[in-house]
Amino acid sequence: MTAPLSSWEPGRPLPRDARVFVAGSSGLVGSAVVRHLRAAGFTDVVGVRSSQVDLRDVAATTRFLDETAPAIVVDAAARVGGIAANAAEPVEFLHDNLRIQANLLDAAHRADVPRLLLLGSSCIYPKFAEQPIREDSLLTGALEPTNDAYAIAKIAGIMGVQSYRREYGRSWISAMPTNLYGPGDNFDLEKSHVLPALIRKFHEARVSGAPTVTVWGTGTPRREFLHVDDLAAACLHLLETYDDPAPINVGVGEDVPIADLASLVADTVGFTGEIVYDTSRPDGTPRKLLDVSRLQALGWKPTIGLAEGLASTYQWFLEQQGAQR
């Protein structure tokens, strides 16, 4: 039986014997959350692979939550991808994420889960939102067209959390991370986000001796990058301190131009050739920097710098390449 949270209040440590279900536990975010919770002393952390329980299936999700009976749920399950994947498969990005979220929220309510954290994405905000982006920018303008289907699904997740709070008094929350990277990332050139794609591109160019690497877009858009282990630490901090219907941003409060990021990746992997920009490819949102003042007011800041995090991520990538050969 899982430990109850009947006497727990925000601002106090969660009981370390409380059962925590991390949805999406095999992915980039979920695996980091599992690592951090166990390192923080949680003794009953449950994960499940999509091959075991398809969270898009309402009956399977309901049955699993009923049987597992967690006290805490972290929703890190999602269909994710970069610009190319989002543009090519908007139906799948919309429907899969809507189903996953609706099924998890409904099943968690049925199982009487007292504490739930839904993780969204900074892409929920308008394409031309004032920078840095505050949480109250949500729904104030048009979305970035290259990932609007995914963004709409995540906005629906926020509304789901707020609706359960309003109608049933659930102490559930949502958090919006900035661009993430780290061990466990997807390095597929067609489906990955910008940073892992760059790592793989520059690595393969160095190994093959290619004289140039082509980067999508102009190199001028600015992006913020948060190491996934920092996000995992923020998740626990929010579960223990935050109880508000409004989503809360999770980021570092600093961004870099894609051109600078590309140069940093090239230096990290040892590529010494020329970087070429394919301006026929889309840039996406011109800038996406989160205002993290509300999170900082709760007493949390990231600890892993971009150069340090990039070096450790590349090392993880090399280890995986070795394991695959």
Instruction: State how far the Cα of 199 lies from the Cα of 161, in Å rounded to an integer.
Output: 35
Q: Any binding-site annotation on 223?
A: yes
Q: Is 191 marked as binding a ligand? A: no
Does 293 carry a binding-site annotation?
A: no
DSSP alpha helix (H) spans, 56-169: 58-68, 83-88, 90-110, 148-168
The answer to whether the annotation marks 110 as part of a ligand binding site is no
Quick one: tokens of 199? 């790592």
Is 150 a residue of the active site?
A: yes
Instruction: Collect all residues with Cβ–Cβ distance below 8 Å to 2 and sequence separation of at least 6.
Output: 18, 19, 44, 69, 70, 71
The reply, when asked if residue 180 is annotated as ligand binding, is yes
Is 25 annotated to bind a ligand? Reply is: yes
Contact in structure between 259 and 319 (CB atoms under 8 Å): no
Write the CB contacts of 269 (distance below 8 Å, at least 6 apart in sequence).
199, 202, 203, 206, 314
**DSSP secondary structure letters along 212-234:** EEEEES-S--EE-EEEHHHHHHH
* DSSP code at position 275: E
Is 46 annotated as belonging to a binding site?
no
Residue from 125, 150, 181, 314 carrying the catalytic annotation = 150
Q: Specify the DSSP element, H or E, that contains 278.
A: strand 274-278
Query: 192 labelled as ligand-binding?
Result: no
Q: In this structure, what DSSP letter does residue 274 have?
A: E
237 labelled binding-site residue: no
- Is 24 annotated as a binding-site member? yes
Is 203 annotated as ligand-binding? no
| Number of CB atoms found within 10 A of residue 277's CB | 17
The response to whether 27 counts as a known ligand-binding position is: yes
Is 118 annotated in some ligand binding site? no
Q: Is 201 annotated as a binding residue?
A: yes
Question: For residue 25, how many other CB atoms are within 10 A of its CB?
Answer: 20
Is position 154 annotated in a ligand binding site? yes
Is residue 290 marked as binding? no
Name residues whose C-beta falls within 8 Å of residue 136's C-beta, 6 or more positions apart in sequence.
Answer: 246
Question: What is the Cα 54 distance to its own chain's centre?
Answer: 19
Alpha-carbon distance of 146 to 216, in angstroms, equals: 14
Task: Determine if residue 208 is labeled as part of a ligand binding site.
Answer: no
How large is the angle between the packed helices 228-241 and 28-39, nearest 10 degrees? 60
Query: Which has the closest alpha carbon to 90: 13, 43, 150?
Result: 150
Which residues are known binding-site members for NADP(+)?
24-30, 119-122, 154, 177-180, 193
Which residues are known binding-site members?
24-30, 119-122, 154, 177-180, 193, 201, 216, 223, 283
Which residues are known binding-site members for substrate?
201, 216, 223, 283
- Which residues are marked as active site? 150
